[in-house]
C-alpha cells in the first residue's frame, strides 16, 4: 500500500472513533429509496432530508451545530 493510501485509511479510522463517517454529497437512488421507505415519506422529501443533513455544516455556525445536551 502507498503511504497516502495508508494515511487516508488512518484518517477514516479516526473519524470512526469519534462516531463520524464520510458520505457522498449526492445520495444514490438506493439511498433515497431506503430513506423514503424507513422515514415513511416520498422520494422528494427523502432527498431534501439527506441534503439538509449533508449541508448542515454550511447552514449552521459551528458553535450552534454542536449537540451538547
Q: What is the pLDDT of residues 7-30, one digit of tens each?
A: 999 999 999 999 888 889 899 999
Q: pLDDT of 25-39, one tens digit each?
A: 899 999 999 999 999
The 10 Å Cβ neighbour count of residue 46 is 21
At residue 41, the 3 state secondary structure works out as coil
Distances (CA, A) of 59 to 44, 47, 53: 20, 17, 10
pTM here is 0.65
Amino acid at each position: 500500500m502507498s503511504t497516502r493510501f495508508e494515511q487516508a485509511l488512518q484518517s477514516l479510522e479516526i473519524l470512526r472513533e469519534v462516531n463520524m463517517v464520510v458520505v457522498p454529497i449526492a445520495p444514490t437512488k438506493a439511498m433515497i429509496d431506503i430513506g423514503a421507505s424507513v422515514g415513511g415519506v416520498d422520494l422528494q422529501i427523502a432527498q431534501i432530508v439527506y441534503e439538509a443533513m449533508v449541508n448542515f455544516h454550511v447552514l449552521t455556525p459551528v458553535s450552534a451545530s454542536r449537540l451538547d445536551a
